[in-house]
Amino acid sequence: MPTRVRLLVPGLVAVVLLSGCSGDDEPAADPAPSASPTTTTATATPSPAPTEPPEPALDPLAWRSAVHRGQPIGLEPAGRGWFGLETQAVARLDAQGRDVWRVQGRSDAFRGFVVDGVPVASPVEPGSPDTTYRAHLVQGLDPATGKVRWTRESTSGYVFSDGEHVVAPTCTGRHTGALGECTLTAYDPATGDVAWTLATWANVEIAQPGDGFTLLQTFPRADDPRFVVLTPDGDVRAEIDVPGGGLLSPADGGVVVGEGDTDVRAASGCRQRITAWDLDGRQLWQRTLSTQPRQREAQACDSYSAIPVADGIALDPLDGAPLLLDTSTGRTLWKGGAEDRGAQVYASARGVLLVERLLDQRSVGIDIATGEQRWAFEDGVGGWRTSGRLAYSNYLCRQPEAPDGSCAIVLDVTTGEEVLRLPGVPEDVVTGPGGRPEALLTRIDEAGYRASYGFTTLP
């Protein structure tokens, strides 16, 4: 089999920040090179994937299933039905939100996702009574029936997708940090055939999909996080080391942003370095931003957490206001005011940055181009939140912090106007202990919806 080795360096970023204030730019530090993993591509005779008859598509604004209570990860379209994913199950749902089939996991280690229209389950099988060994399985399922098409084994419960394949780690368990301690194997989702293998230093802790790449995070040593930009062909396009530690997140436009650790210094106060790289490892820009001392914690600083949105990346601290940076230059495009302190940036759609102000319990739409507020939706009810994952089409869904995550109120993203209030949600919501609303969606059948499922179409 051919072996391909490619050494690459840090890359690019675009950013929306939540911050109290921004500091001056500092010169970029040169990244240190590191050894590259090796990729092996396997050749296999492709097996024809079963095909399904074409089915009419649903409205892109879809319900969330209350039947799957394991904090649903999301919904994947599948013709007239959807694949419901959660922490313990994967299921196919019909156009009314009912289970066509369901594969239930035995533990919280279960993972489910969809690759190229094929649902994948990764359950954990208990070992024999005289051993603690638990086999992690990787299973490709038939989309129509849910029956297992193929099964492979892995040593890790963290099975993921690079957008085209099912990727499963297999590790030796020695934890030396040497290249080859773990091997990533990519399987064709329809057939289970091996597409490529990749030797790495350690198990994958986090896999974040980007546009045509996957950002992998590993820890060869506990204090040495390493990030790899991986192509769908199994090529290592870049290796990125974040100075001072921290995390990386992918952004639109082939950009990666690194949120370095905060630095507590008596002379300069709390500061955090934000660095941008492109996918070939070239550093684009670097800024050092002032952050706030963490309340009630001595010698601790607030720090940014990256949240990918459609037009950049939001860095969200516990305190501070939103800050929107240009992805290619790091220049500040917009900075929130005092009223935005403690706000959460959770999504963006159609040129609007969606911000949840916790102090006054309002959802606010900010024009990304100008930084001006377009609209604010205020219902004055504590315990409600807005789901950025449901910002399909031109709509936004507000929902209670309830286990079923049912959609309750639909807003227009561009105007903030209330488009639909689902039956069963009264104008005056009665709250229970802790200020959380007790009104759940229980009367939806009359309106052509399904109880506790949200909606499939809008009037």
Residues 6+ apart with CB under 8 A from 389: 74, 347
What is the per-residue pLDDT across 265-316, written as a single tens digit (0 to 9) for each?
545 678 888 888 999 999 998 888 888 777 666 667 777 777 766 666 666 6
Q: Please state, in angstroms and as integers, the Cα–Cα distance from residue 111 to each residue in 105, 107, 330, following that order.
A: 8, 10, 36
Going by CATH, does the domain composed of 38-42+55-200 fall within 2.40.128.630? yes
Is 0.85 topped by the overall pTM? no
Residue with tokens 């994958």: 204
* pLDDT at residue 63 tops 80: no
Task: Answer whether residue 13 shows pLDDT above 60.
Answer: no
Which DSSP string corresponds to 54-102? --PPPPSS----SS--S---EEEEETTEEEEE-SSEEEEE-TTS-EEEE
Domain ranges of the chain: 38-42+55-200
Name the percent of the chain in helix, strand, coil, to the closest 5: 5, 45, 55
Between 299 and 403, where is the model more confident?
Answer: 299
Please say if the pLDDT value at position 183 is more than 90.
Answer: yes
Please determine, for residue 7, whether its predicted confidence score (pLDDT) is greater than 60. no
Q: How confident is the model at residue 82 (pLDDT cuts 50, 70, 90)?
A: low
